[in-house]
Amino acid sequence: MSRKFFVGGNWKCNGTTENVKKIVTVLNEADVPSDEVVEMVISPPFVFLSLVKGLLRSDFQIAAQNCWARKGGAFTGEISAEMLINLGVPWVIVGHSERRTLLKESNEFVADKVGYAISEGLKVIVCIGETLEQRESGATMDVLFAQIKAVADKVSKWSNVVLAYEPVWAIGTGKVATPAQAQQVHKELRDWFVKNVDVNVARTIRIIYGGSVTDTNCNELARLRDVDGFLVGGASLKPDFVKIINSASVK
């Protein structure tokens, strides 16, 4: 079954009004495949969501980088799913390793966020990944399966979920999983859905790769059977991001 290629650009905690406008100009002028071929989602910091949404061409969608785990209220500094819906933001990234490691977000807390976001009508990019220590100890799949299971306990509508495998040891380090490593993990993740969720979900859910994806390695990774796209960090702030989007054409 064909799965539409997906490329997300996570700008993280970067940007000023001036350079955000420059990045958007590059994207607006880019020659990229149609949105029938690739789904393109840009995730600026919260303070630039409305600015980017107002300036960016319509075939690019917008994602927030996080959201709160329940309805808004006395939660200083948090952003609720309802607020994002009100702004017309359709996507949110949840469970990024930087939040899991730096802010100590547990599997269960991430799952609560995913479940609530979907219940309110958001589409969610769910990040999972293992540390270098966990990989070297042979615990990669145990770690990933535990992260997915927590989400599966809260989610029944998988059509609004994109799963992003981001090995922590490859994020912002310049290291990247070999094609064989990426394909093996993605295949085992898909097999997990066959055994634990539903065979149709396993066939249709998009599992994308993140971890030092660049314009030089994207085509090789895009050709892999079970890699359905990318979640890109630092490279999404550069003009070369357009080349990564265009890797959809090799699928």
Domain of residue 221: give its range: 5-250
What local confidence, expressed as pLDDT, does residue 128 receive? 98
User: Quick one: three-class SS letters along the chain?
Assistant: CCCCEEEEEECCCCCCHHHHHHHHHHHHCCCCCCCCCEEEEEECCHHHHHHHHHHCCCCEEEEECCCCCCCCCCCCCCCCHHHHHHHCCCEEEECCHHHHHHCCCCHHHHHHHHHHHHHCCCEEEEEECCCHHHHHCCCHHHHHHHHHHHHHCCCCCHHHEEEEECCHHHCCCCCCCCHHHHHHHHHHHHHHHHHHCCHHHHHHCEEEECCCCCCCCHHHHHCCCCCCEEEECHHHHCCCHHHHHHHHHHC
Catalytically annotated residue among 96, 98, 105, 130:
96
User: pTM for the full model?
Assistant: 0.97
136 in catalytic set: no
What local confidence, expressed as pLDDT, does residue 120 receive? 97
CATH code at 218?
Answer: 3.20.20.70
What local confidence, expressed as pLDDT, does residue 1 receive? 54
What local confidence, expressed as pLDDT, does residue 65 receive? 98
What local confidence, expressed as pLDDT, does residue 171 receive? 82
What local confidence, expressed as pLDDT, does residue 175 receive? 81
User: One digit per residue, pLDDT tens: the chain, 251 residues?
Assistant: 589 999 999 999 999 999 999 999 999 999 999 999 999 999 999 999 999 999 999 999 999 999 999 999 999 999 999 999 999 999 999 999 999 999 999 999 999 999 999 999 999 999 999 999 999 999 999 999 999 999 999 998 899 999 999 999 988 788 878 999 999 999 999 999 999 999 999 999 999 999 889 999 999 999 999 999 999 999 999 999 999 999 999 98
120 in catalytic set: no
Catalytically annotated residue among 39, 105, 166, 186:
166
What local confidence, expressed as pLDDT, does residue 176 receive? 79
Number of domains in the chain: 1
